[in-house]
Amino acid sequence: MKRESTAPHGHVHDQDHDHAHSTLGEMDLRVRALETLLTQKGYLDPAAVDRIIETYEVHVGPHNGAKVVARAWADPAFRDWLLQDATAAIASMDYTGRQGEHMVAVPNSPDTHNMVVCTLCSCYPWPVLGLPPVWYKSAAYRSRAVIEPRAVLADFGVTLPPGQNIRVWDSTAEVRYLVLPERPAGTEGWSQEQLAQLVTRDAMIGTGLALNPQDITKEAP
Amino acid sequence: MNGLHDMGGLQGYGPVQIQANEPLFHGEWERRALGVTVAMGASGLWNIDLARSARESLPPLDYVQGPYYAIWTQALQNLLIERGLITAEELAQGQPITQPMAGVRVLKAAEVDAALAKGSPADRPSTQAPRFAVGQRVRALNLNPQGHTRLPRYVRGHVGTVVLHHGSHVLPDQHVNKMLPPFDGTAEHLYTVVFDGTELWGPQAEAGHQVSVDAWESYLEPASEAAPE
């Protein structure tokens, strides 16, 4: 089966090189033809396409979510607000809109680890995490996250402490979930800017944990 | 529709393939496919559920084998052709043959930031009291509609507990009823329902795990104490 490929880069597009090459060339032509046609017919402003791409390449990404998490770690009142009404709390930081219209933040604890999936498509909280990685949209993740989440975490190199339960949130409606990871030990007195560096994309999906202080370099701000 | 898109609980797809330092896009065509799809969505000539339905309705093997943005591109082409904005001949020849459709809303570059920041909220006011309460035991109905639905197969027939009530949201199953606006915006109360792993997967379930889905009211019924096994 194609998705069981052990291609060196381990990436879904590298699974089958012949197929991938022909697909890529073909897709380049198809998408270019489609964009040109839509532009010539007056339905599409190519500058709008540029702006959409720039938004998610530059402005909107997991660095937004990391700031939300860091603030929740540092500010108990904000944490309470985030857990009570994530949409409003996150909007107060100007992260709003498409694929984040209805947000819920789910906090990890020593008892429970949270993990997010969309088994039906690729629902993902764009305003705080940007566009999803390929694995999040893959059949392997979507199929297995709900039936064997611990085995999926093992693929990410994550082993939970014995006795910690796993709670999987399948995003089947327009509600989008943000995992609030546990604050790492040894970060007392850290600024929100420093804390944000410990918050990875995967920690906010629940396929990872927040980094520890020793995982980041010292010259960080 | 019981399609291959409804993947929860399927087996045999192998380990999750994680690319270290994965780029946001794998080639220029993925960047443009994302941008064109989002921009054309602003035409308002379909809604998010019609777009999902178009992707789910692709030939099953195309759905599971293609890169995700190829699924988006193919579904977008189908939406555009079905609505008469473009023809298959125009796509094949790469140039306009027919007159453009009049009155199509075009997203301008200057409008992008505001459009993305606004999004498309799915909540609607409701005069109906919610049928279920947080803490209540409910059963997901055994529904197998031909059309679009957001009730995944792996929870159908199973009993869980309502843990969140999100208010009233547009019901996807009816949001696809009309191909063109004004769409059927019928809304229902929406709940997060959590299921024990053993309820869903039986004795093979991993220890200590629960799974929730977000389910509209018409996907659920109260669970009686004498629930059938």
Give residue-wise pLDDT tens across range A89-137.
999 999 999 999 999 999 999 999 999 999 999 999 999 999 999 999 9
Same-domain check for residues A36 and A69? no
Residue B106 host element (H or E)? none
Is A4 contained in some domain? no
**pLDDT tens-digit readout, B69-122:** 999 999 999 999 999 999 999 999 989 999 999 999 999 999 999 999 999 999
Same-domain check for residues A142 and A34? no
Same-domain check for residues A77 and A103? yes
Q: Is A87 on the interface with B (CB under 8 A)?
A: no
Is A31 contained in some domain? yes
Closest CA to A45 of A53, A54, A59, A35: A35
Indicate the SS3 state at residue A150: helix
**How much is the pLDDT for A23?**
62
The minimal CB distance from A1 to the residues B14, B56, B70 is found for B14
Cβ atoms of residues A55 and B112 within 8 Å: yes
Any binding-site annotation on A121?
Answer: yes
Is A3 contained in some domain? no
CATH architecture, range B137-222: Roll (2.30)
Residue B168 host element (H or E)? strand B159-170
Indicate the SS3 state at residue A105: strand
Task: Report the CATH number that the domain containing residue A153 is assigned in CATH.
Answer: 3.90.330.10
| Residues of A whose CB is below 8 A from B67 | 12-13, 23, 27, 134
Per-chain mean pLDDT for chain B: 96
Using 50, 70 and 90 to split pLDDT, how confident is the model at A15? very low
Cβ atoms of residues A101 and B119 within 8 Å: yes
Topology classification of domain B28-118: Cyclin A; domain 1 (1.10.472)
> What is the domain range of residue A30?
13-56
| Residues of B whose CB is below 8 A from A145 | 8
Same-domain check for residues A67 and A45? no
Q: Which of A56, A71, A91 is the last residue of a domain?
A: A56
Q: Is A216 on the interface with B (CB under 8 A)?
A: no
pLDDT reading at B39 higher than 90: yes
Q: Among all residues of chain B, which has the CA nearest to that of A43?
A: B106
**How much is the pLDDT for B225?**
55
Q: How far is B224 from chain A (nearest CA, A)?
A: 25
% of chain A at pLDDT higher than 70: 87
Same-domain check for residues A49 and A66? no
Is A220 contained in some domain? no
pLDDT reading at A16 higher than 50: no
Same-domain check for residues A104 and A174? yes
Cβ atoms of residues A37 and B91 within 8 Å: yes
Is A2 contained in some domain? no
* Tokens encoding B211: 């799974």
Q: Among all residues of chain A, which has the CA nearest to that of B198?
A: A147
Same-domain check for residues A52 and A93? no
Same-domain check for residues A82 and A66? yes
In chain B, where the domains are located: 28-118, 137-222
- Number of structural domains, chain A? 2
What ipTM is given for this predicted complex?
0.97
CA distance B95 to B90: 5
CB contacts < 8 A (A, B): 297
Same-domain check for residues A28 and A68? no
Is A6 contained in some domain? no
pTM, 2 dp = 0.93
| Residues of A whose CB is below 8 A from B70 | 23, 27
Same-domain check for residues A101 and A155? yes
Q: Which residue of A4, A11, A38, A129 to mutate against B (max B Cβ within 10 Å)?
A: A38
Same-domain check for residues A81 and A160? yes
Closest CA to B140 of B197, B207, B191, B210: B191
**Tell me, what DSSP letter sits at residue B110?**
G
Q: Which residue of B11, B17, B69, B154 to mutate against A (max A Cβ within 10 Å)?
A: B17
